[in-house]
Chains A and B, each alone.
Chain A
Amino acid sequence: MPDCQRLTTDGLQALLDALRARGYRVIGPTLHDQAIVYDDIHTLDDLPAGWTDEQEAGHYRLTRRRDAALFGYAVGPHSWKRFLHPPVQRLWRARHEDDEIIVVAEPAEATRVALLGVRACELHAIAIQDRVLLGGDYRDGHYQARRRDNFIVAVNCAEAGGTCFCASMDTGPQAQHGFDLVLTELVGDGEHRFLVEAGTPEGREVLAELPASPASDAEIAAAEALLAATAASMGREMAAGDVRELLLANLEHPRWDDVASRCLTCGNCTMVCPTCFCTSEADSSDLTGTETSRSRHWDSCFTMDFSYLHGGSVRASGRARYRQWMTHKLATWHDQFGTSGCVGCGRCITWCPVGIDITEEVRAIRETRDGAPT
């Protein structure tokens, strides 16, 4: 950490002010309805000081910390896709006037948004959605506009959540790239400070405006120890190296029936997953038939309509739908986009109402696959 600076909490407030002065809307973690969700941040008081989360399969509770850490929790139910690839997006409107039909495409909304408190797994998730929505021949103009003017302030995780497994997926807990600034929060010894490093020229520019001082060797060592401890305390793990081959070789494994008996086909896992990008389009018209509009909204491979082709749904059973989700995330994503579709954030485990655990499902198949020791 050569260019590592330190900021006090006042220094962090100065960062918020600097971003707002540059015209950014700042979004970050806030307390809402007994969870930590992303929303507008004006001052440090908007951050969940002194709170942490307890996460398990199908279980999330906020609890008090002993200190006043501002980022002392893992990821919550929202992900940044709520802002970058929003749940509902109008695409166009059309109006019938006399004998003419006037079509107006929805302008792409170019907003200057700073994302504060982006975790390592989430940086990877954003990079994945970039690849999916901007990487091919067909680019999503709305996503492109929303991504164009971002300032990303990452935060290294000082604590792993109960369902986190980024260390297995090689996506965390340390932010490596994809940020303008990265913070490591150090609390204790009666001091509250943030080590900060820049990842881009704009990040350096902003950092230069802040009341920062060089970090000491002891502070840098403390930050490194903290990250090593986080990596060693992941709530979950998954042997990810050969999972693609494992799943594709076991498409008829009885475990798919077992998980289907538990799966509610409710779709929560796909909604909370920061990489799931699927949408459907729907038209709406007014009663007189003069105005109509088309919107797209998040959809999920757990619905029947999702795979509806002429005459019926291709994936009618819960087994087929769960298998689609898991093999897409962990196997066919590699073929389609060159990486895993899972960054190990653990959201699908925490927010599944019946606690279905993707790492556990992989383990069960691994342990009982054809040729596995019994």
Chain B
Amino acid sequence: MNAYRIKGKGRVDQRKPVRFSFNGTAYTGYEGDTLASALLANGVHLVGRSFKYHRPRGILSAGSEEPNALVGTDRGNGRFEPNTRATVLEVFEGLNTTSQNHWPSLKRDVGAINDALYMLFSAGFYYKTFMWPKSFWNKVYEPFIRGAAGLGKSPTVPDPDTYASRFAHCDVLVVGAGPAGLAAALEAGRSGAKVMLCDEQAELGGSLLSETNARIDGASGWDWLKAAAAELAALPNVTVLTRATAIGYYHQNLLGLCQRLTDHLASPPEGAPRERLWKVRAKQVVLAQGAIEKPLVFDGNDRPGVMLAGAARSYLNRYGVKVGNRPVVVTSHDSAWLAAYDLAEAGAKVAAIVDVRPEVAGHLKQRAAALGIEMLTGWTATGTSGRLRVASVRVNPISRNGVFGPARTIACDALLMSGGWTPSVHLFSHTKGKLDWNEEGQMFLPGERTEESRCAGAGNGSFGLAAALAEGAEAGADAAVDAGFKAKAATYKVDGEVPLMGVSSRELTTDRNASKAKAFVDFQNDVTAKDIRLAVREGFKSIEHIKRYTTNGMATDQGKTSNINGLVIASDAVRRPAPAVGLTTFRPPYTPTTFGAFAGYNRSELFEVTRKTPIDVWAEENGAVFEPVSLWRRAWYFPKPGEDMHAAVTRECKTVRETLGMFDASTLGKIEIVGPDAAEFLNRMYTNAWSKLGVGRCRYGVLLGEDGFIRDDGVIGRITSDRFHVTTTTGGAARVLAMMEDYLQTEWPDLKVWLTSITEQWAVIALQGPNARKLFEPLVEGIDLSEEGFPHMSVAEGRIYGVPTRLFRMSFTGERGYEINVPARYGRAVWEKLFEAGQQFGITPYGTETMHVLRAEKGYIIVGQDTDGTLTPEDAGLGWAIGKSKPDFVGKRSLSRPDMLKADRKQLVGLLTSDPNTVLEAGAQIVLDPNQTLPMKMVGHVTSSYWSGTLGRSIALAVVEGGRAREGATIHVPMPGRTHTARIVGTVFYDPENKRLSA
């Protein structure tokens, strides 16, 4: 158990074992382990297969940059996540994990044949390989690509977790809690500024957690870290967020932080969110993201057991895990030598340090010699062996003029590599900050900034602990000063640190056939140096194109370990300097982020606002089926036991026509328009004339856009001379009010009139049917409901059941109708009372479907269903609603544009199908000649179509080119299965004389 763990070493709690499983095998780790460190402690390096070639892969890194070690994690109760990086996943009791991209097992994988078909999958394979023959697409290529594409498996059940969200505002936000970030946060915190410090890891410290040599102000790095963390925790103005990754840096210093709240817990508390997305607006930002180590690119650099030297050092010093007993180091940078020393001191037999540089600093050699490590400077790695774990490395000396000496094979169980370090400029790059190429360091560094931000430490190219602390403190102090506080940077004394140098290189040269080398640049997308060179040979010169052609850097790790290697190789192949080849743009999120985090609270019932009327509860209790209408949910129909929708709607329609129905119309938009210029304002907005509308009367109004097309409609009542009650469509309420405000504020600010939304002030109950008046005449006080006193299209204020009401007489069914507005909180009670009282007339509640059928029988349009933003009032048969004598109204000028006067405009007509039982599909296209060649000329479409129980047949409304002139003609409606015929008729199917309105 934990054969590779060193007792007492590292920061994990070795008194607290944690049991977990990987591919069904039980293992033990310790609290504080990541899955990667716990597996390595158990000697497990093989953790997955690569995506394209299914090559066995191990753990490359010790951080969020990991391209290889992706696993599926099962946290129980349907909580499954693919592609979790083993290097950031904290182990907990009961964690189940599985490897990916293999079948039937990790150790024997059929797909690994892809590895042998290497030539087939080189650069651009997506674009080239599967082109020919065409007949292979459906049966061979596509299933194969689909099988191979993607990484892990998708979860099979909806995510059971919840997610949270929070806004924050601060003076200084520090991203990254390594030495630079800590120093910055301390300085800013001491100034009294409101500070937030975030780090993606579970504990603060960054590179300090893996550093055991250096001392700060006389204390060990870890003691200093402890003191710094304690000081920050004690400052009330400082908020520290761990497990919080800064995923994106947006305009005006807005950063998104994704905080993992419960993923590390064996049993999260009930109702605890899994993650929280912080949206932080900071006056000043300090970016201390650190640096990422570069792999070396050579044949076989991807075998399990080959890892970054800095990662090996982290596993040793932070987790107490030796990654091997017989490691070899291959490097072009001094920092890898430290890994060799630390491992040797921990008891590993370091077989050799292979450094491609002919010369290295004397002090490095002295220490290696003292530890008995063989040094091969001026040597290079040219291959590795070992199927499921690296077993040896092949190395050659190279003379100063580039001549290869004979190869040597060194046995090893781990191969630690370093090609130097790349500053993490991702967040700075999100801001479109300029990046400057540093030729000496072969790296991009933050240049001119676009936001109030500063970069510090390794992320700014200032490597080493002393530099990080100094630059961090300075950045923190400066940020605090710029945010309006007084601060001065502290100085730190660092001992035990040696300067670390290195060279950066393209792929390592080899004495073998380079075209056969599997020297990986992008481990996750299986892109090799050869692929990049091939792309250049095929004519790609810009890194943006090379990236897309080879897929280098396009995997879920966004090329954190591969971008610079890819660029340097491409620039070598193109024979142009790296900055001329370019750097691909980094985009948020910095690391893969769950959709849940972005959705936050907005899922399930909180996905969107679901607006419900005051009567909705009654409808639900009485078995209504609902449909969404804009944000509202509305009662669609009220089925009785045994009824389907058709039966229910037919019954509801019949009851309304024969006796009485009630309908919840509360969702209709309502606007109260008040002021001496109210009528004039309506004159200018609506097509109709309003000045002469009497108090107590109402009128149907049509609203156009300035382009002359119908935008909305509704009934408008005049309550007093200066007060109008305007109704709009349900979906148009907000839009209409905004349009009115626009004209009022910006075109006619001189008008004395004010608009107030009263949609939700009033609950609206429509009573429709021949018995409507009989039902509520006895219930209403203060309004003369007689035919003369309250004719069709009247409005009055009074009381019903003692509650104030605005009563409209209007009809959207063709029957005698009233709309009773009562203050919303009384809506349900009045509805219930009316329903009770209506029993004597056999009253039925009805929903939106019956409302639609009844209005279609009368040819009343629904804006947005029968109109689509291209219909003028004339097209819709509403020419009568245009106040012809008005000098102007919104949209009037457009109605005389030549296009608006054409005879072949689409016009609203009625349709009667030849077979009365055929109900056309709404949206079906209309043609004049069903035998014409394809593509047919479509002359219109069906806008509304229903079964009319009243008429005992189907009816439809449609728009047809020159439709009104074609009345009586037969048209054809191709639908799946067959083509139907129908006759063009007028739009009013029922009671064209409107006798029933007063029946």
The answer to whether A binds B is no
- Interface of B with A (CB < 8 Å)? none
